[in-house]
Structure 1
Amino acid sequence: MRQVLTLLAVLLAAYLAVCALVFFQQRSMLYFPQKFSGGELLPLGGGTRVGVTRLELPGPGAVLYFGGNAEAVAGSLPELQAVFPGQSLYLMHYRGYGATPGAPTEEGLHADAQALYEYVRARHPQVTLVGRSLGSGVATRLASERAVDRLVLVTPYDSMAAVAGHHYRWLPVRLLLRDRYESARYAASVNAPTTLLVAEHDDVIPRASSEALHRSFRPGLATLRVVPDVGHNDISLRALNSD
């Protein structure tokens, strides 16, 4: 009996040690900062400096883009030009990515997104938000607080806790998680027409998570479109323009 209790104590200690390691290292597991050339560091309100890859064109429309957790967003510029012709494009560099200094956190990314939105809105009365994967959480929260004309979410999720819980069922992720990206909570306050693009073979974001987010929007406001024969990393925004 004593040996059994000793074994259980050792296993419990090991489990708690793993939980502690995950808690302190979780941001390195969530964010994969990419260094890439191009873009510029914009000085925004309140001393905020945000790296942006931008293409400014005459006209009222602009697209504000938030990428995935390992994305060098400058590489998405050609695709965005093709999908949103004639509109100005602003691709935000997360903290620690591209031109933006610092380290990524949910609150830091949200503050930068708010500051960049104000910069863009002052120049363009029509703003579309596009968020891919991790960035879908940034875009949804921003759309719940600011007036936007359209919201596009690519491989979105209802919350980071739900996604992490799917991949790490043996960990109490809801207790450990710092950056929660609770998109489903913010979705109820979104007023813009919303499109959710879901990859048929997404092995990162569970379909159930995307569908739960879809149900969180007000009835009739959001459309969920499953893009066939693609995975999490090869889904294209061009699906927006397909029949």
Structure 2
Amino acid sequence: MARSLIGVILLGIALYLGLGVLLLVFQRSLIYFPQPRDEGGPERLLMLPVTDQRIAVTVRPLASAKALIYFGGNAEDVSRSLPDFAEAFPDHALYLLHYRGFGDSSGEPTEAAIQHDAQALFDKVHALHPDVALVGRSLGSGVAIRLASQRPAARLVLVTPYNSILELAQRQFPIYPVRWMLQDKYESWRYAPSITVPTLVIVAEHDEVIPRWSSEKLFARFRSGVARREVIPGAGHNDIGDRPEYLRLIRSGL
């Protein structure tokens, strides 16, 4: 009996350690799901002049003071948003970033690399358009809010945002020391208090990916009067972009 119990304990420890190793090694495969680019030819691409990789941006050039930079979700081909964005925002030049490994961008996506590319894109866009709005959806909300704390954005729109990916991972894997394991934490709550530009937070009523409490916690971190929150009734995480209110609300935040 004692040997059987010891065997069960050892097997449990082995399974725990084995799964922990898998989570540690393949953690970024659980965050990023690179997608190819479907929309637009070479004339719709801007290549950022970063030194280590080729970073692609789907664009709709426009001689305007206003520009919109869009950061998409972790499994999103941002080029597919170009037709709808072009129609909804006729007075904005459009820049939609393909994360490393997505679309025509080379390299591997990491939080640090994506943030570096976002800063490079903003600096290039801001040199051409003095009024730059940032829109981030899902994973991209963490990119956009951090960028807005570092660069002179004019407005900020966060769609289905999270308080922290670290916090979500801790709840999903409570038996592991996720804080010490996770490399890309995307702690949006750290940047919300320093945001001073008008901010719109768009929440899906029935978000099955990012719990609504996470979006609400982030919203509570903004200074009073800086951010407003809009909930799209009946929307889920993945179908929020199909709702008629979606682009109308983003437009109201610009």
User: TM-score normalised by the shorter chain: which range applies?
Assistant: over 0.9
Instruction: Please give the secondary structure, in 2, of the residue aligned with 1:231.
Output: coil
Partner residue in 1 for 2:150 = 145
1:76 aligns with 2:107: no
Q: Determine helix, strand or coil for the equivalent of 1:226.
A: strand
Which amino acid is the alignment partner of residue 181 of structure 1? Y
What pairs up with 1:32-43 in 2 under 5 angstroms?
A: 32-37=33-38, 38=40, 39-43=44-48
Q: What's the RMSD between the two structures over aligned residues? A: 1.7
Report the Cα offset of residue 166 of structure 1: 3.4
Whether contact under 8 Å (1:72, 1:98) holds in the other structure is yes
- Superposition deviation, residue 239 in structure 1: 4.4
Runs (5+) with no aligned partner, structure 1 = none
Give 2:27's aligned residue: 26
Cα deviation code 1:50-93 (max 9, x no counterpart): 20100011210000000001101000112222332211000001
Whether 1:122 aligns to 2:127 is yes
Does the 8 Å contact 1:41/1:99 carry over to 2? no
In the other structure, the counterpart of 2:205 is: 200
Q: Does structure 1 retain, via aligned residues, the 8 Å contact 2:69–2:96?
A: yes
Residue number in structure 2 paired with 1:6: 7
- Which amino acid in the other structure matches residue 208 of structure 1? W
* 1:17 alignment partner in structure 2: 18
Aligned residue type for 1:135? G
**CA shift in 2, pair 1:78/1:41, >3 Å:** closer
2:192 aligned with 1:191, yes or no?
no
The residue aligned with 1:104 is: 109
Q: Who is 2:61 aligned against?
A: 56
Contact 1:54 1:89 in 2 (8 A): yes
Partner Cα separation in structure 1 for residue 236 and residue 156 of structure 2: 21
* CA-to-aligned-CA distance 1:185-206 (integer Å, 9 cap, x gap): 0111212111111101110001
Q: Secondary structure at the match of 1:224?
A: strand
Q: C-alpha separation between the residues in 1 aligned to 2:30 and 2:52?
A: 29
Q: Which deviates the most, 2-11 or 63-72? A: 2-11
- Equivalent AA in structure 2 for residue 124 of structure 1: H
Among all aligned residue pairs of Structure 1 and Structure 2, give the percentage whose two residues are the same amino acid: 50
Q: Which runs of 4 or more aligned residues in structure 1 lie more than 3 Å from their structure 2 counterparts after TM superposition?
A: 45-49, 166-172
Task: Please state if 1:218 is matched with 2:227.
Answer: no
Structure 2: distance between partners of 1:43 and 1:134:
21
1:123 Cα offset (Å): 0.1
1:101–1:41 CA distance, 2 compared to 1 (3 A): farther
Q: What code does the residue aligned with 1:87 have?
A: H
- Aligned residue identity for 1:144: S
Measure the CA separation in 1 of the matches of 2:211 and 2:190.
Answer: 18
Q: Report the TM-score when normalising by structure 1.
A: 0.93
Is 1:66 aligned with 2:71? yes
> Which whole-Å deviations, capped at 9, do the CAs of 1:145-171 have from their partners, x for residues lacking one?
011110001100011012223333444
- SS of residue in 2 equivalent to 1:33: coil
Aligned twin of 2:247: 238
2:162 to 147, 150, 157: 157
1:94 maps to what in 2?
99
SS of the aligned residue for 1:188 comes to helix
TM norm structure 2: 0.90
Give the secondary-structure state (helix, strand or coil) at the position aligned to 2:56: strand
2-side partners of 1:130 and 1:163: how far apart?
Answer: 22
Opposite residue 219 of structure 1, the aligned amino acid is S
**Runs of 5+ in structure 2 lacking a partner?**
none
Q: How many pairs were matched up?
A: 242
Give the partner amino acid of 1:238: L
1-structure distance, mates of 2:172, 2:187: 17
Q: Using a 3 Å threshold, how does the CA distance of structure 1 residues 141 and 20 change in structure 2: closer, same or farther?
A: same
